[in-house]
Structure 1
Amino acid sequence: YRTIKGKLAKAQRTLSRRQRRAKKEQRSLRESKNYQKQRLLVAKIHARVFDRRRDFLQRTSTALIKNQDLVVAEELRSKNLLKNHALAMSISDVGWRSFLGMLSYKADLYDRQFITVSPKNTTQTCHDCGFVMGSNGTEKLTLADREWICPQCHVHHIRDYNAALNILEKGLQKQQKAQSKS
């Protein structure tokens, strides 16, 4: 999307300029041929962006499901993630909800397991001892804290790796509960 973003912005500016010009000359937009040509061009660029995004998600989800027996993901709320203005464009560009949907139906298609888990405390919990940051008078980790040391067991953690281990552990627990019920 970022590679085509500039071209899309330029085409939309041209479309807007042609719309203003047609209105200034009191012509209907349906009769304005330059406006209609530009509208089709903008629509083609939007379609290209949509196709690229969908193709990337399809390829990535297929590769993940084909190569793994179990895929575990956090059930993240995109709406909450978009509140971070520094990351909002990247997050919305990925299409997280669509990606999870693709993983779900492809897991059924290829007889694999796909599990979503709650994101609660996945980054704040020590994988080794289970201590949760923010409890017992400790401060919660901020997004800037990429590495931390557990105050209870004194193990050094890389935030994303620790969170991935916690997510996998939650997924395995959920899988065991489902198997024990059936």
Structure 2
Amino acid sequence: MGSWGTLGPALLSLAGVALGAGGSLFGQYLLSRVSARQLEVQEAAAHRAELKDAVLKFLNVASQVEKAALSRTEGGDRPAGDELGPLVDELWLAQAEIDLAARSEGLRGATYRYAFRLAGVASGEAVDASELRLPQAKFMDAAYDDMWPGRRRAGRSAAQPSGPIG
């Protein structure tokens, strides 16, 4: 039975081709997993950059609204409605920008509540500046949680809520 002498090398060659193909497919599988992970990391970085820009814009406008509204209530000087009206409009546009960029409802809600509170102050609602700090802090916590989900923010104690304002 000399067929092994003829058939053996052919079978070994076929086994080598099968192992090579299997190794190649396994390598492609691993490469696709790495590529998918890299894509996730890039998308997360792009999301953080977009959201960071929206948050900074919102905070800039919120600061302007707060300063104008509080200077009016503290000093008795009422700035013209022309000053606060466009600022409040800009605040709502900045809030909408965050609403579009945010991945979490917590951030959307915290942003809306902070903007609503600021708009109330701008419309003449009497408030102390310290009353704006809780909505502002909850907004900042929600923004951090949306940008870095699962990471604990330094300086936040376990007693401080990180969810939406209740």
Same fold per superposition (TM over 0.5): no
What is the TM-score normalised by the length of structure 2? Answer: 0.30
What is the TM-score normalised by the length of structure 1? Answer: 0.28
Q: Which has the higher helix share?
A: 2
Larger Rg belongs to: 2
Q: Which has the higher contact order (CA 8 A, sep 6+)?
A: 2
Q: Which has the higher strand share?
A: 1
